[in-house]
């Protein structure tokens, strides 16, 4: 619980048996979390078993993709506030409270991984990834400058907090199954008139396993192009 609100932590997972146990334990040990929901997205390894063994509630989602998994996890969550995080250990539970505090001021509170001093050694947030995210975030900012003038420096940070009210407003309009889900959620929140605030959080290297989104330059370029397209579409077409 956080100031009387029930907190659900939602973790999308695709073949993360090496890391999921430690992530579930870390978040369950955190004083504010009431449940940890792990979404098993067609995992071919022991992710679901390890997650359940560590104390998570495991839900299955067959539609493949990071966004599809997050959406399913949020639909299954029972909390008043949802905390989204990753299965790879790159975000730590003690940072959760930093996001929760601002959830009293904004319907969507997004972490930023581009604060250089908080990017831990060997984390996958080198120069290009950092500045790529900053540039994309500035583009998103510009798109909603006249209505909200948000201040953003990252579009791809999974670690974020949204209220159930925000989720109910945006859930049916979310279209991205993949990593574009992250900026789409920010666009949707702004379009629905929610405040979208950003908070610096620590970013760590993966505890093990492999990145599914950022393992090569080509993959990063594809992700960036997809994000650019979804932001532009939301701004121009409103859907």
Ligand X SMILES: Nc1nc2c(ncn2[C@@H]2O[C@H](COP(=O)(O)OP(=O)(O)O)[C@@H](O)[C@H]2O)c(=O)[nH]1
Could you tell me the CA-to-CA distances from 231 to 13, 74, 213 in Å, in that order?
Answer: 25, 22, 18
- Shortest Cβ 90–Mg ion spacing (Å): 5
- Residue 45, exposed/middle/buried by CB under 10 A (0-12, 13-18, 19+)? middle
CA–chain centroid gap for 165, Å, is 17
Cβ distance to ligand X smaller for residue 144 or 202: 202
Q: Phi/psi of residue 152, each to 5°?
A: -135, 145
* Binding residue for ligand X, selected from 12, 89, 107, 183, defined by CB under 6 A: 12
- Shortest Cβ 237–ligand X spacing (Å): 26
- Show the DSSP H helices in the chain as ranges: 20-28, 47-54, 66-76, 96-102, 127-143, 164-170, 181-191, 217-237
User: Is residue 65 at the binding interface for ligand X, with CB under 6 A as the rule?
Assistant: yes
Residues 78-117: x where in contact with Mg ion by CB under 5 A, - otherwise, as a string: --------x-x-x---------------------------
Give the CA dihedral 214, 220, 223, 229, nearest 10 degrees. Answer: 160
- Shortest Cβ 26–Mg ion spacing (Å): 15
CB atoms within 10 A of CB 205: 15
- Shortest Cβ 156–ligand X spacing (Å): 7
Near ligand X in 107-166, by CB under 6 A? 124, 158
User: Is residue 187 at the binding interface for ligand X, with CB under 6 A as the rule?
Assistant: no
Residues 199-228: x where in contact with ligand X by CB under 6 A, - otherwise, as a string: ------------xxxx--------------
| CA neighbor of 148 nearest in space, from 196, 182, 81 | 196
User: Is residue 16 at the binding interface for ligand X, with CB under 6 A as the rule?
Assistant: yes
- Shortest Cβ 230–ligand X spacing (Å): 16
- Residues at the site binding ligand X, with contacts judged by CB under 6 A: 12-14, 16, 39, 41, 64-66, 69, 86-88, 124, 158, 211-214
């Amino acid at each position: 619980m956080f100031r009387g609100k029930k907190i659900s932590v939602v973790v999308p997972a695709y073949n993360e048996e090496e890391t999921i146990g430690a992530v579930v334990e870390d978040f369950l040990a955190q004083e504010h979390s009431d449940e940890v929901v792990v979404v098993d997205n067609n995992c071919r390894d022991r992710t679901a078993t390890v997650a359940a063994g560590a104390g998570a509630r495991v839900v299955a989602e067959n539609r493949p993709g990071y966004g599809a998994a997050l959406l399913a996890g949020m639909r299954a969550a029972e909390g008043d506030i949802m905390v989204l995080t990753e299965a790879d250990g790159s975000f730590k539970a003690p940072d959760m409270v930093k996001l929760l505090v601002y959830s009293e001021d904004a319907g969507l509170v997004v972490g930023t991984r581009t604060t250089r001093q908080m990017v831990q050694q060997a984390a996958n947030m080198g120069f290009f990834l950092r500045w790529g995210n900053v540039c994309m975030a500035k583009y998103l900012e510009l798109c909603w400058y006249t209505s909200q003038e948000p201040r953003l420096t990252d579009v791809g940070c999974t670690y974020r907090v949204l209220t159930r009210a925000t989720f109910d407003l945006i859930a049916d309009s979310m279209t991205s199954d993949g990593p574009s889900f992250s900026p789409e959620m920010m666009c949707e929140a702004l379009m629905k008139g929610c405040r979208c605030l950003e908070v610096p959080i620590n970013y760590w290297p993966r505890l093990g396993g492999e990145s599914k989104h950022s393992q090569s330059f080509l993959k990063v370029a594809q992700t960036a192009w997809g994000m650019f397209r979804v932001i532009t579409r939301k701004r121009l077409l409103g859907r």
